[in-house]
């Protein structure tokens, strides 16, 4: 999820920089208004001046945004296996979440497992006493 947000921020920043550069250089495309004679030159040379209006940049909200879809690949791919089977009581992670080793992803019903453990212990005790 974080990679998608970072990508959107990157795209908006690139678009804002592009718009700013277009606005700053748009005055340079106007035709030459008047020639000016160069000073301190041996040859008579004409220099053409293009009027440009410079403004101080300000910080403001961006009124436009760009939305796209893309394919995102995980840094690591891991096969998740359950140590047992049972009824799922609680889900602690969603598809796409970043998880850590040992983190509990789901909580399974334990009643049946605990009953099997008790039966196995009783069987072991019966074998010892027999």
CA distance 109 to 112: 7
Find all residues with CB under 8 Å of 108, minimum gap 6, and list them: 82, 84, 85, 86, 87, 88, 89
Domain limits for position 114: 88-129
Do 51 and 115 share a structural domain?
Answer: no
In a domain, 54, yes or no: yes
Do 67 and 21 share a structural domain?
Answer: yes
Do 68 and 4 share a structural domain?
Answer: yes
Do 33 and 95 share a structural domain?
Answer: no
In a domain, 60, yes or no: yes
Do 32 and 3 share a structural domain?
Answer: yes
> Does residue 24 surpass a pLDDT of 80?
no
Do 97 and 43 share a structural domain?
Answer: no
pLDDT, residue 122, reads 93
Total-model pTM: 0.31
Using DSSP's 3-state secondary structure scheme, residue 88 falls into: strand
Q: How does pLDDT run across 77-116, given as a tens digit for each residue?
A: 777 777 777 788 899 988 888 888 888 888 888 888 888 8
What is the tally of structural domains in the chain? 2
């Amino acid at each position: 999820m974080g990679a998608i947000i970072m990508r959107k921020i990157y795209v908006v920043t690139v678009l804002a920089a592009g718009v700013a550069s277009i606005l700053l250089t748009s005055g340079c495309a106007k035709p030459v208004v008047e020639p000016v004679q160069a000073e301190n030159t041996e040859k008579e040379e004409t220099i053409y001046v293009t009027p440009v209006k410079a403004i101080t940049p300000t910080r403001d909200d961006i009124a436009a945004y760009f939305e796209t879809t893309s394919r995102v690949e995980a840094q690591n791919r891991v096969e998740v296996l359950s140590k047992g089977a049972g009824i799922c009581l609680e889900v602690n992670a969603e598809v796409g979440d970043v998880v850590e080793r040992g983190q509990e992803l789901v909580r399974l019903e334990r009643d049946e497992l605990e009953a099997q453990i008790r039966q196995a212990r009783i069987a072991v005790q019966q074998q010892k006493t027999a």
